């Protein structure tokens, strides 16, 4: 078994707010840390609704995946964390715009709270293209 492991940092995604990296690539997979709706430059929360926040979180997720050499089409598993499951449909509408064809496997989980008081967090596992 190979021990290739590399940390991935995306310059156009918000800085990590804790002791973690944007993602770790190993064995052809990319494990993307949870992305919340922060602006990459200011570090401030973007959006007041779950839909607006999901859009920014997905933009951040896409930036991390691209920094590792992939695209959202390479995402094989995503997890969406919501502080209010009543916003599930609103978030789905935004999510569908980012994964419009052949979407990844996914789970949606209701949680009591998320960092910085946001409404949505999204993480992913990506099968990186070879090369």
- Helix and strand element counts for the chain (H, E): 2, 6
% of the chain at pLDDT higher than 70? 97
What is residue 59's predicted lDDT score, i.e. its pLDDT? 98
Domains of the chain with bracketed CATH? 5-127 (3.30.1330.40)
Using CA atoms, how far residue 98 sits from 65, 114, 122, 128, in Å, is: 13, 22, 13, 18
pLDDT at 51 > cutoff 50: yes
What is residue 130's predicted lDDT score, i.e. its pLDDT? 85
What is residue 1's predicted lDDT score, i.e. its pLDDT? 44
Tell me which residue of 104, 60, 51 sits closest to 82, measured CA to CA. Answer: 51
β 105-110/75-82 pair status: parallel
Residue 14 DSSP class: P
Query: What global pTM score does this model have?
Result: 0.96
Mean pLDDT of 99-120: 97
Question: Could you tell me the pLDDT band of residue 3, with boundaries at 50, 70 and 90?
Answer: low
Query: How far is CA 81 from its chain centroid?
Result: 10
């Amino acid at each position: 078994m190979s021990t290739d492991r590399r940390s991935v940092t995306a310059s156009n995604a918000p800085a990590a707010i804790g002791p973690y990296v944007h993602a770790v690539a190993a064995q052809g997979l990319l494990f993307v840390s949870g992305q919340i709706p922060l602006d990459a430059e200011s570090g401030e929360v973007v959006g007041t609704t779950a839909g607006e926040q999901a859009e920014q979180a997905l933009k951040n997720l896409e930036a991390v995946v691209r920094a590792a050499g992939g695209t959202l089409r390479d995402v094989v598993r995503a997890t969406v964390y919501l502080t209010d499951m009543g916003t599930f449909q609103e978030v789905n509408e935004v999510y569908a715009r980012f994964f419009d064809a052949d979407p990844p496997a996914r789970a949606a989980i209701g949680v009591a709270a998320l960092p910085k008081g946001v409404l949505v967090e999204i993480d992913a596992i990506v099968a990186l293209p070879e090369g």
